[in-house]
């Protein structure tokens, strides 16, 4: 999809990568409704269809595009704050084997 150039200059056809998930989902819904109404010309329908497919793909990708990272902030001896990755038990939410868990950033 990165290689795709068409449409980027047209209003309402910004590339899905640049819009946020909520807008993409909303537009996808609008396109589904629009196509079902069947009042667009064939060319417009094709364009919308193509756009809808791209949006659905983008939305799915965005959902899979998760960080899977849990970090805890801590203040070092020189006073700067850094983040450290920790593992948690997803069932209990417990932060696992973390001996040097600091109680406060201060």
Partner 1 sequence: MSEIANDASVYSVSEITRLIKKTIEGRSDFSGVWVRGEIYNFTTHASGHIYFTLKDDNAVISAVFFRSANRGLSFKPRDGMTVLVQGSITVYEKRGSYQLNVTAMQEEGIGELQRRIERLKQKLSAEGIFDPARKRPLPFLPRRIGIATSPTGAAVRDIIKVALRRYPGIGIVIAPAIVQGDGAVESIVAAIRELNQPKYGIDVIIAGRGGGSFEDLMPFSEEPVVRAFATSRVPIVSAVGHQIDHPLCDDAADMAAPTPSAAAEIVVPLKDELVMEIDYYADRLARSAGSLVEALRTRIDAAVGRRVFREPREITRRKGTELTHLESRVTAGLSARIAHARARLLNIPDMRILARTVIDRKKHAFALAIGAIEKLSPLAVIQRGYAIPSDDRGRVIRSVNDTAIGNAIDLLIRDGTLNCAVNAIIQGGIGGFDGKEKAGE
77 interacts with partner 1 by CB under 8 A:
no
20 interacts with partner 1 by CB under 8 A:
yes
Distance CA 85, CA 48 (A): 43
In terms of CB distance, is 17 or 101 closer to partner 1?
A: 101
Quick check: 51 and 57 in contact, CB under 8 A?
no
CA angle 64, 7, 10 (to 5 degrees): 120
* Closest alpha carbon to 95 in 79, 75, 63, 72: 72
Checking 48-51 for CB contacts under 8 A at 24+ apart, the result is 51/7, 51/13, 51/27
Binding mask 26-65 for partner 1 (x = CB under 8 A): --xx-xx--xx-x---xxxxxx-xx-xxx-x--xx-xx--
Identify the residue among 6, 17, 18, 87 touching partner 1 (CB under 8 A). Answer: 6
In terms of CB distance, is 17 or 20 closer to partner 1?
A: 20
Residue numbers of the site for partner 1 (CB under 8 A)? Answer: 1, 4-6, 20-22, 25, 28-29, 31-32, 35-36, 38, 42-47, 49-50, 52-54, 56, 59-60, 62-63, 66-74, 81, 83, 86, 88, 90-95, 101-106
């Amino acid at each position: 999809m990165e290689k795709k150039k068409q449409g980027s200059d047209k209003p309402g056809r910004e590339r899905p990568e640049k819009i946020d998930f909520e807008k993409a989902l909303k537009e996808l819904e609008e396109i589904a409704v629009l196509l079902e109404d069947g009042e667009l010309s064939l060319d417009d329908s094709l364009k919308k269809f193509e756009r809808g497919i791209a949006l659905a793909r983008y939305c799915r990708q965005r959902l899979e595009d998760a960080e899977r990272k849990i970090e805890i902030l801590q203040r070092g001896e020189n006073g700067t704050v850094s983040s450290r990755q920790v593992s948690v038990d997803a069932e209990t939410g417990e932060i696992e084997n973390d001996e040097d868990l600091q109680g406060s950033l201060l």
